[in-house]
Structure 1
Amino acid sequence: MQFLTSYRVVRLSGPLCPEWGGQFVIQRDTGCMGGDTCLSAKCTPTLIVIITPYALPPFHHCPIFSTARNGSLSSLPPRFFALIILVAADQQPPTTLLTNDSVSSRPNALVLLVSKNEATNLHVVDIQKRTPLKPVPLVLDVNGRSLWVDCESNYLSSTYNAPQCHSTQCSRANLHDCRTCSAQTRPGCHNNTCGLNAANPISGETAFGELAQDVLSIPSTDGSSLGQLVTIPQFLFACAPSSLAQKGFPPAVQGVVGLGHTSIALPTQLASHFGFQQKFALCLTSPLNHGVLFLGEAPYRLHPGIDVSHPLGSTPLSISREGEYFIQVTSIRINERVVPVNPALLNRRPGSTLISTTTPYTVLEHSIYQTFTQFYANQMSWAPRVQPIAPFGLCFDATKMTATQIGPEVANIDLVLHNRNNVWRIVGANSMVQPRPGVWCLGFVDGGSNPKAPIILGSYQLEDNLLQFDLARSKLGFSSSLLFRGTHCGNFFVGSAQTSAAKEEKHV
């Protein structure tokens, strides 16, 4: 029999080593000619390099590694993954070690498709989690503190783990409360683990859950289309009770994916794991199309080949203690005329305006709303008004309005930001809502006297606008309506790429 030496990447799986499921290894094989794999009875691995930034399960529990002995951990800079070298008993440790730089095609950006649920006006993403991988539908919350899922309803995964209280994972999540669970042990119910609050952004309810970690996979991108799935083997998230996901969510949704500026939110963990800048871009759509969430570096290309990452307006991004995103709107203009609102309301800190993906329509503090709608009605005096349709307070006869590429031809609304030349323009496609045929309503609602912020920018006003959250520089980039540029957020090219677990994976 002839032998040859080769190198390859292998993903461990199967019943022999469930605790190693999902780990990727680079192997130097003394392989058998004729197609036998190195893990067969005839052929044994002489060198296996496990690539992971996390603690590994004891390898001596795995029959595949019964002849191996543990080599030494290399001392690498923090940006490198720790490498654990397993060397067969009759081999000497290698003189050179594989570093992170040897692993090819580390992604610069990742991408998730975003759909809008018409019944609830919430935006939903499917994220591949667990072992075996399963698409988990989650509400997208730009201000959410973490990713949380319902763990009580058939959470099945061979790679689920609950970090122990006072562990490094708990410290990373800034969690210091230990919890116990008196029910039967299962995902979400272990003793001496870290407890954290998960929040339903629709009902406002919170629940105490368990910090957990499991496999998460997400498509890479070159900015133009979906690429291969890449994997984080031990992504931190919150395990919450079923009751938290039952109020206000679309059917089948199992939790929330939070993009807030916190230590365990999705953008933070992905940037840390893959080594790209803390930056993400959001491009939402109507229910007719899929929007897109880019995580990482530009470009962000939409059909027909337009890079919408530039030019962008820019304004300082303020972050609350809870990790929420605010900007400073200093005044509002309608048809270039300033709306006379109380300036004290627009001088709030950390900012007058909260950006929200879980608020369907922009909410204005009561006095701002009254002044704004009256001013808008005056600027639209030529358009016949009709009986308002809740929750809107100002509606018009749509048959008297002209349709354009950027929505109905109506008065433009300008949000003037940190200086008067820095303006976010809201055109008819984002300012007017059609609650029934023949009626257009101004898509802003009265928030009463004490809303969370004087202005809460709702998701309808964000649709077909690219928003780039540059967390490293504390800046928000904004495009205003992409309809001006002959494209929209539903024009991200998917092609024949697969987002299912069956698509080829790579682990970096």
Structure 2
Amino acid sequence: MAPLLHYLLVLLSFSSLVLASPPPQANFKPNKLVLQVHKDIPFLVNLKGKFLWANCDQQYLTSTYHAPYCHSTQCSKANSHTCHTCPYTARPGELAQDELFILSTQGSNPGPIARVPQFLFTCAPSFLLQKGLPKNVRGVIGLGHAPISVPTQLASHFGFQPKFALCLTSSTRSNGVIFFGDGPYYMHPGIDISRPLSYTPLTVSQKGEYYIQVSSIKVNNKLVPLDTSLLSSKQHGLGGAMISTTTPYTILEHSIFTTVTQFFSKELSGVPQTKPVAPFGVFPNIDLVLHTQNVIWRIFGANLMVQAHPGVTCLGFVDGGSHPKASIVIGAYQLEDNLLQFDLAKSRLELSSSLKSRRTNCANFNFTSSP
């Protein structure tokens, strides 16, 4: 298998983190915002995170930092029990408030910088960010459905619908994007990647994970003979599939994994050996059939196979054993170069399947243009 993938933010910036950022336009109210996403840079992307964590132990110098007091409006909104009780020096591990600067969008280019003057987050000590996270991580961005998550706060401040779209790049040299606000979302040179999109109901678990329904699985357009009760069973979660940016590869419950991989191997043996066209090889596709037979999430080509060693290619799925957290966990590798729009107002997920079939990808937002 390839090394563990962590998708982290490049451009999330408090006033303390980007000291030389240009001033935002006065009273600027964009309807769409954008962040760069890269592999292994300082802010971890967490779909189920309820807020943003930032390391305040080191290199956090700001004159606009504020720690809300207990029983304040901010603490009530955050449902936080780690607020100030008396006026002494701010400490790591508390609810905090500061300015946040973020880029708006103009087509497939960045627009003017927008400002959120009273953004709530958690000022976390270093040791919390070192537990199970990559080295040099300076924070965690929470994209969950929660009162002070990043999508919720941005939508509330700027007055647009609580929606965000994730587009992770497969490249280690280029940046993917997270859009906040409704589409259209454009990639250079002006391709609207948000049309057409399929959609399926989105459910949020008590722990904040995002789930979608999976009714069956197909390989090479043929139905895999699964016990479908495993797909709808709630003993491992809500049933169906959980979407995770912190899980590197898609995890299948043991019996599902065994059946799917055996069926895949059988189909692979019958595929004619023709010259592959990058990034599509001679491998059969895997379809997750969602809430209706007409809506599928097709996994193929570069999202399907992983080069473990030179000349050795493996199916990018993992055996989760008999008691995984969900029957299916769709991991970050299978999310690459797919556009996923999380519509928190309508409780639905809109998805594109691989953008490479449209001759574009998630690295094609033109961040090199100056706002």
| Superposition TM-score, scaled by structure 2 size | 0.87
> Which one has a larger percent strand, Structure 1 or Structure 2?
1
Query: Which one of the candidate residues 141, 146, 151 is aligned to 1:262?
Result: 146
Query: Which one of the candidate residues 64, 72, 76 is aligned to 1:159?
Result: 64
1:407 is paired with a residue of what secondary structure? coil
Query: Which one of the candidate residues 200, 213, 218 is aligned to 1:315?
Result: 200
Per-residue CA deviation, residues 173-196 of structure 1 (Å, 9 max, x unaligned), is: 123566779xx93442xxxxxxxx
Partner of 1:76: none
Partner of 1:114: 37
Partner of 1:174: 79
Q: CA deviation at 1:491?
A: 0.7
Letter in 1 for 2:34: V
Question: How do 1:266-415 residues align onto structure 2 when only pairs under 5 Å count?
Answer: 266-286=150-170, 287-349=172-234, 350-382=238-270, 402-415=275-288
The answer (yes or no) to whether the contact 2:54–2:139 under 8 Å persists in 1 is yes
Q: CA deviation at 1:25?
A: 11
Letter in 2 for 1:473: K
The answer (yes or no) to whether the contact 1:166–1:176 under 8 Å persists in 2 is no
2:269 is paired with a residue of what secondary structure? coil
Letter in 2 for 1:263: P
For residues 251 and 276 of structure 1, the distance between their equivalents in structure 2, rounded to whole angstroms, comes to: 35
Partner of 1:79: none
The answer (yes or no) to whether the contact 1:219–1:227 under 8 Å persists in 2 is yes
Q: CA deviation at 1:222?
A: 2.4
For residues 25 and 112 of structure 1, the distance between their equivalents in structure 2, rounded to whole angstroms, comes to: 18
Partner of 2:89: 185
Q: Cα 1:468–1:171, aligned 2, differ >3 Å: closer, same or farther?
A: same
For residues 230 and 253 of structure 2, the distance between their equivalents in structure 1, rounded to whole angstroms, comes to: 9
2:247 is paired with a residue of what secondary structure? coil
Query: Which one of the candidate residues 47, 50, 53 is aligned to 1:145?
Result: 50
1:171 is paired with a residue of what secondary structure? helix
Q: What stretches of structure 1 of length at least 5 have no aligned partner? A: 1-12, 14-21, 27-102, 118-123, 125-136, 189-208, 384-399, 499-508
Partner of 1:206: none
The answer (yes or no) to whether the contact 1:218–1:230 under 8 Å persists in 2 is yes
Q: Cα 1:351–1:273, aligned 2, differ >3 Å: closer, same or farther?
A: farther
Query: Which one of the candidate residues 105, 113, 134 is aligned to 1:221?
Result: 105
The answer (yes or no) to whether the contact 2:109–2:369 under 8 Å persists in 1 is no
2:231 is paired with a residue of what secondary structure? helix
Per-residue CA deviation, residues 233-271 of structure 1 (Å, 9 max, x unaligned), is: 111001122112224433322110010000011000000
Letter in 2 for 1:428: G
Letter in 1 for 2:197: L
For residues 139 and 227 of structure 2, the distance between their equivalents in structure 1, rounded to whole angstroms, comes to: 38
In the comparison of the two structures, how many residue pairs are matched? 346
2:211 is paired with a residue of what secondary structure? strand
| Superposition TM-score, scaled by structure 1 size | 0.64
2:363 is paired with a residue of what secondary structure? helix
2:128 is paired with a residue of what secondary structure? helix
Letter in 1 for 2:242: L
Q: Cα 1:283–1:290, aligned 2, differ >3 Å: closer, same or farther?
A: same
The answer (yes or no) to whether the contact 1:318–1:351 under 8 Å persists in 2 is no
1:415 is paired with a residue of what secondary structure? strand
**Higher relative contact order at CA 8 Å, sep ≥6: structure 1 or structure 2?**
2
The answer (yes or no) to whether the contact 1:23–1:233 under 8 Å persists in 2 is no
Partner of 1:452: 325
Partner of 1:4: none
Partner of 1:473: 346
The answer (yes or no) to whether the contact 1:115–1:285 under 8 Å persists in 2 is yes
The structure with the larger Rg is 1
Q: CA deviation at 1:24?
A: 9.0
Q: CA deviation at 1:494?
A: 1.9
Q: Cα 1:329–1:273, aligned 2, differ >3 Å: closer, same or farther?
A: same
2:360 is paired with a residue of what secondary structure? coil
The answer (yes or no) to whether the contact 1:412–1:425 under 8 Å persists in 2 is yes
Q: CA deviation at 1:335?
A: 0.9
Question: How do 1:126-145 residues align onto structure 2 when only pairs under 5 Å count?
Answer: 137-145=42-50
